[in-house]
Structure 1
Amino acid sequence: MTTEFLPGFDGAPLAVHRLGQGRPVLLLHGLFSSAEVNWIKYGTARRIAEAGFAAIMPDLRAHGQSAAPHDPAAYPADVLVRDLVALVDGLGLTDFDLCGFSLGARTALKGVAEAGVAPRRLILSGMGLAGIRGWSGRIGFFLDAIARFGTIPREDPAYFAQAFMKSTGTDLVATRLLLESFAQARVDDLSAVTMPTLLLCGTEDDDNGSAEDLAAILPNARYAPMPGTHMTSVTKREFGEGIVSFLSD
């Protein structure tokens, strides 16, 4: 495993972790998480590397080891998509695959649909149609969890979000600014998403709506179920196996 720091769209240092040699696979983690939690801890990156790929795993802005500025100016609209474009350019990626989980999946899809990011193959996990077309509701839920952080009782639906933020040491100020930056952003035109696309989602994961419905409206996509909820699917061996199978096909 190696780690380097590359500039985001505004020069903010973003941590990029790499494991393996071979065809590059850019992996984008979910909200309140990190490359360590989503890709490394449960062996997914290792499975990808052992299959002959280079797993390239940035920590998104305001997450993990990357910069988490408290200046609102560091969070313009579509900031994560801007960072994605900067990382693809900075890494010199011209022939690569792209995979995202939850917020990472939404960022990957917006990058392809709206910013000209052009992977050979695309994997969207932990994401469904409601997470693309109805994202503002999810943002409101997480902003409320941040506002009530430390006081949310166990019976509250936001309790598990609070627990996850505690476990990952989430920077509440930076993450709030990040969420507010794309509160109104939508993905309307998906016609550019023409590459082979896999919707890899847990059978008990409906946090972002139906992955099957999202696959149905993408030009060249298919749905693949795997075990797990939104929180547990990244811990399953089937997660890495599903990624490798699709990229090796």
Structure 2
Amino acid sequence: MDSFDSGGVRIAYIDVPAVGGSGDPVLLIHGFASNHAVNWVNTLWVRTLSQAGYRTVALDNRGHGESEKLYDPEAYGSEDMAGDAVGLLDHLGIGRADVMGYSMGGRIAAHIALDHPTRVRSALIGGLGMHLVEGRGLPAGIAEALEAPAGTPAPNPTAAAFRTFAEQTRSDLRALAACMRGSRQTLSRAEIAQIVVPVLVSVGTLDTVAGDGPGLAALMPNARALDLAGRDHSTAVGAKQHRDGVLAFLAARP
């Protein structure tokens, strides 16, 4: 992966050209404990977007993948992580992009759309609904499960699943614990209403983490929801219905 300096933090990224030449850029922002490869390459998103004619850029968020690991929760505020993504656009000379995030990446995408609207052609928020506003979703104990010695029972099944996933992705568990403690900022209904770019909110109908997708879309003046039938938080991201819905949205947006 290539990398750049984002305010003193090394951020790794890939930049894949559109098949057949230049195309509108799409910036992909992955979810918690994942990385660009697990979230976007293995699920065929990069190939799908590139073959559809889009320049596809994806970063490893700070604390994840090949990007720099930080251990202070205050280093993982959503505004800081949004700043990394905007900084990557600056680094690549991209003035405006479609910004797509999943789960934690969806939270970051919403912050970018709110704070940097001139840089966002459209926002695609996946795996995150009303919990962007209400602040619920993941249960307590995930950070503690990540920090616990190997073999320690987790406080709940979700915490256990995240510990297993983090180990499978060979993540830095201490950095992820700091990220979990520092990155869960919400937006108020009034702030959500200020997001005026075209928005697609995509949530699985079996997702117990994201919150109501149509409810979030209803708070924005130019948003619509995509229900991913029979998909939960883990399986919605790579669903063909998700990819098809995003491609249709991108083709129709101004």
Number of equivalenced pairs: 244
Contact 1:199 1:222 in 2 (8 A): yes
**TM-score, normalisation: structure 2:** 0.86
Task: Please tell me whether residue 19 in structure 1 is matched to residue 22 in structure 2.
Answer: no
**TM-score, normalisation: structure 1:** 0.88
CA distance in 1, matches of 2:157, 2:51: 41
Pairwise CA distance, 1:199: 0.8
Secondary structure of 2:192 counterpart: coil
Secondary structure of 1:48 counterpart: helix
Task: Please tell me whether residue 213 in structure 1 is matched to residue 210 in structure 2.
Answer: no
- Aligned match of 1:225: 227
Secondary structure of 1:218 counterpart: coil
Structure 1 residues 232-241 or 215-224, which shifts more?
Answer: 232-241
Give the AA of the match of 1:205.
D
Task: Please tell me whether residue 248 in structure 1 is matched to residue 245 in structure 2.
Answer: no
- CA deviation profile, 1:30-53 (whole Å, cap 9, x unmatched): 000011011101211111111000
- Aligned match of 1:6: 4
Pairwise CA distance, 1:213: 0.7
- CA deviation profile, 1:154-203 (whole Å, cap 9, x unmatched): 973422112111111121221222233335x3312123311111011212
- CA deviation profile, 1:207-242 (whole Å, cap 9, x unmatched): 121111101111211011124110111232222222
Pairwise CA distance, 1:139: 7.2
Secondary structure of 1:120 counterpart: strand
CA distance in 1, matches of 2:127, 2:74: 29
Residue 139 and residue 115 in structure 1: after superposition, are their counterparts in 2 closer, same or farther (change >3 A)?
farther
Residue 60 and residue 42 in structure 1: after superposition, are their counterparts in 2 closer, same or farther (change >3 A)?
same
RMSD across aligned C-alpha pairs, in angstroms? Answer: 2.3
Residue 4 and residue 158 in structure 1: after superposition, are their counterparts in 2 closer, same or farther (change >3 A)?
same
- Aligned match of 1:142: 142
Secondary structure of 2:167 counterpart: helix
How does 1:44-193 map onto structure 2 within 5 Å? 44-70=45-71, 74-75=75-76, 78-116=79-117, 118-134=119-135, 138=138, 140-148=140-148, 150=150, 151-152=152-153, 156-182=157-183, 185-188=185-188, 189-193=191-195
Structure 1 residues 111-120 or 101-110, which shifts more?
Answer: 111-120
Contact 1:20 1:50 in 2 (8 A): no
Contact 1:122 1:196 in 2 (8 A): yes
CA distance in 2, matches of 1:147, 1:106: 24
Identical residues among aligned pairs (%): 28
Which blocks of at least 5 consecutive residues in structure 2 are unaligned?
Answer: none
- Aligned match of 2:199: 197
Secondary structure of 2:217 counterpart: helix
CA distance in 2, matches of 1:165, 1:117: 35
